Structure 1
Amino acid sequence: MGRKTNVVLTVGAAGVAAWAASKVVAKPVPREGKKALDFDNPVILAHRGGLAEAPENTLAAFSKSAELGVHGFAVDIRLTKDEEIIVFHDEFADRTTDFSGRIADYTLSELKMADAGYQFEDEDGNHSYRGKNVEIITLRELIQKFPHMLIVINLKDSPDTYEGSLIPSKLWRLLEELGAEDCVAVTSSYDEQTDRFNLYAQNKVATGAGDNEVKRAYASFTSMFGHLYSPRADLFRIPEKLGVFSLGTESFMKFLTQINIPVYFEGVNDNESFVKLLHVGAAGFITDRPTVAMKIVQDNVGD
């Protein structure tokens, strides 16, 4: 046996010893649960109100989904020129019928004059329409209209922008004023944004994992040291796949469930995916098609 072989075996043995020692010393610590995420059955959240079934981000869409019996909504928020928080997906105002340029270039009163509804399909899924005579709504209006619904709020503005630097504090002040701390969860693809928000919220509001946190969790899961993973968020909202990596597996769900992290899958709209993810342990769905989702869950989950 040569010197190189001895070195490799020694390093390998040291790695195994470190892993064994860490298994003895460290145990997975479950994340403390948040009231907003306390559900007995899988949660259905209408994405932007159910954008495939009604004009997205409008009161018409949210009301229609609420009548179906969904548990809540998943929305994006933006900050206007006069620092009001509106429910809107894109950075650019051309998703309305009347304006162009950035949302941050207009005041709330100006945006209220636009037809806000974008496109959705008819019942046969054949045509798209723009909603007419539908108004942009503020996050305040949405929470006040549906005070008992879970609203998963996604901070869209980049932390590097002026709007992004302000919105975490603006959001916290609004939630605190409305007493809505226990009926929302705050997410962002930018981990920095939820960290900033939590500086104000001090763990009083459920927060979601950003892109880097999801990658960190998955890397821990696939390594020998998954038992050392300590989550920095209360909720994972993730796609079924992240590049070539499949996140919708029973083993990954079990890994997160044992540390009390519910997983809401987004972008799920077809029957096959709903059923598959229910069976691997999905805690919820963020869907464009709440009608389909409600039926699938009712048919596949016992009372």
Structure 2
Amino acid sequence: MGKKTNIAIAIAAASAAAWAGSKAISKPQKRELKEALQFERPVVIAHHGGAGLAPEHSLQAFEKAVSFGVDGFSICIRLTKDEEIIAFHDATVDRTTNSSGYVKDMTLTELQQLNNGYNFECLEGNKPYREESVAIVSLRELLETYTDKLFIISIQDSPDTYEGSLMPSKLWRLIEELAVQNQIIVTSPHSEQIDRFNLYARNSIALGAGEADIKKAITAYTSQFGHLYNPKVDLFQVPLKSGVFNFDSQKFIKFLADLNVPVLYSEIDDLVTMSRVVRQGAIGVVTNRPDIAELLIQKVTQ
């Protein structure tokens, strides 16, 4: 054999030895299953209150979702100028209202005077909420109104902003004041925000995976070193696919389930896909269409 072949064989042997050694000594740590995630059946979570049926993050949407029997809501939060937490996705109010401006530059009172449903287009193609008052709602009001629902709360403000620097502590204080620890899951696209929040919560609140956590998990799963992966979050809320990453896999679900980390698939709006991912072992779905998901709810509760 040539010199290059011998080197390749040596590298392969060393890699195999490293894998075998890490496998022998590795003891992945399972997450302690939080009370908020102890379900007796697959769950249906309304995305932004059920954004396919009414303006997102509006009381109209939340009420419609509740009428279809959802188990909870997946919402985004931002901080206002007067440091109130509201249920809202974007940094500006441009997309949902007929006004422009940043959430951070307006008080809760000012924001509630806007029509949050101005640009909402219903399934029939018209915009029925332009003549109605659709107010932006605070997180406090939601938690005090829906005391029997699960809330997956996503911190949208970036950690390098003033609002983002305040949000983890503000959110923790509100949860603690209302004593709703067991119906809350806190997440964020910014994994740093999840870590900051947990400095206050001290693992007493269920945590959802941020973008960095998701990339770390899928990389471990697709490599030969998945046995070295130790999660630091309690729930993965993921789409079926994002970029080059495919999360739609029964094996991926099992990989995380073996660590006591359930998978919840987001923005699933057709019954066939809902039923399939539940059969694969997903803990449930997040949907814009709670009316469609009602059929799944009826099926899993029979």
- Normalising by structure 1, we get a TM-score of 0.94
Structure 2's unaligned 5+ residue stretches are none
Q: How far did residue 76 of structure 1 move?
A: 0.6
Residues 297 and 125 of structure 1: CA distance in aligned 2, closer, same or farther (over 3 Å): farther
Residues 121 and 274 of structure 1: CA distance in aligned 2, closer, same or farther (over 3 Å): farther
RMSD value, Cα: 1.7
User: Which aligned segments of 4 or more residues in structure 1 are displaced greater than 6 angstroms?
Assistant: none
1:151 equivalent in alignment to 2:158: no
1:240 equivalent in alignment to 2:243: no
Residues 186 and 8 of structure 1: CA distance in aligned 2, closer, same or farther (over 3 Å): same
1:169 equivalent in alignment to 2:169: yes
Task: State the Cα deviation string for residues 268-299 of structure 1 (Å, max 9, x = none).
Answer: 11223212212221112111001111213433
Partners of 1:293 and 1:121 in 2: CA distance: 20
Q: Is the 8 A contact 1:51 1:119 kept in 2?
A: no
Residues 74 and 302 of structure 1: CA distance in aligned 2, closer, same or farther (over 3 Å): closer
Name the SS for the 2:29 alignment partner.
coil
Tell me which residue corresponds to 1:264. 264
Q: Is the 8 A contact 1:118 1:130 kept in 2?
A: yes
Tell me which residue corresponds to 2:181. 181
Task: State the Cα deviation string for residues 237-287 of structure 1 (Å, max 9, x = none).
Answer: 111002133201111111011111111111211223212212221112111
1:196 equivalent in alignment to 2:189: no
Letter in 2 for 1:159: P
Q: Is the 8 A contact 2:117 2:129 kept in 1?
A: yes
Q: How far did residue 125 of structure 1 move?
A: 4.1
Tell me which residue corresponds to 1:249. 249
Partners of 1:297 and 1:279 in 2: CA distance: 14
Correspondence list, 1:88-99, <5 A: 88-97=88-97, 99=99
Q: Is the 8 A contact 2:47 2:75 kept in 1?
A: yes
Q: How far did residue 64 of structure 1 move?
A: 1.7
Task: State the Cα deviation string for residues 7-66 of structure 1 (Å, max 9, x = none).
Answer: 211221111112112222113321111111111211111111101112221112112211
Tell me which residue corresponds to 1:21. 21
Name the SS for the 2:104 alignment partner.
helix
Q: How far did residue 94 of structure 1 move?
A: 2.5
Q: How far did residue 67 of structure 1 move?
A: 2.1
Q: How far did residue 121 of structure 1 move?
A: 5.1
Letter in 2 for 1:212: A
1:279 equivalent in alignment to 2:279: yes
Structure 1's unaligned 5+ residue stretches are none
Residues 130 and 17 of structure 1: CA distance in aligned 2, closer, same or farther (over 3 Å): same
Letter in 1 for 2:271: N
Q: How far did residue 166 of structure 1 move?
A: 0.8
- Normalising by structure 2, we get a TM-score of 0.94
Tell me which residue corresponds to 2:129. 130
1:49 equivalent in alignment to 2:69: no
Name the SS for the 1:130 alignment partner.
coil
Q: Is the 8 A contact 1:265 1:282 kept in 2?
A: yes
Tell me which residue corresponds to 1:108. 108
Tell me which residue corresponds to 2:68. 68
Residues 118 and 78 of structure 1: CA distance in aligned 2, closer, same or farther (over 3 Å): farther
Partners of 1:235 and 1:295 in 2: CA distance: 24
Partners of 2:301 and 2:81 in 1: CA distance: 48
Partners of 1:296 and 1:128 in 2: CA distance: 28
Partners of 1:118 and 1:210 in 2: CA distance: 31
Identity of matched residues, %: 49
Letter in 1 for 2:50: G
Residues 176 and 5 of structure 1: CA distance in aligned 2, closer, same or farther (over 3 Å): same
Residues 28 and 297 of structure 1: CA distance in aligned 2, closer, same or farther (over 3 Å): farther
Name the SS for the 1:78 alignment partner.
strand
Q: Is the 8 A contact 1:28 1:230 kept in 2?
A: yes
Partners of 1:2 and 1:227 in 2: CA distance: 35
Name the SS for the 1:227 alignment partner.
helix
Q: How far did residue 130 of structure 1 move?
A: 2.8
Q: How far did residue 97 of structure 1 move?
A: 3.7
Tell me which residue corresponds to 1:140. 140
Partners of 2:49 and 2:262 in 1: CA distance: 21
How many residues were matched structurally? 301
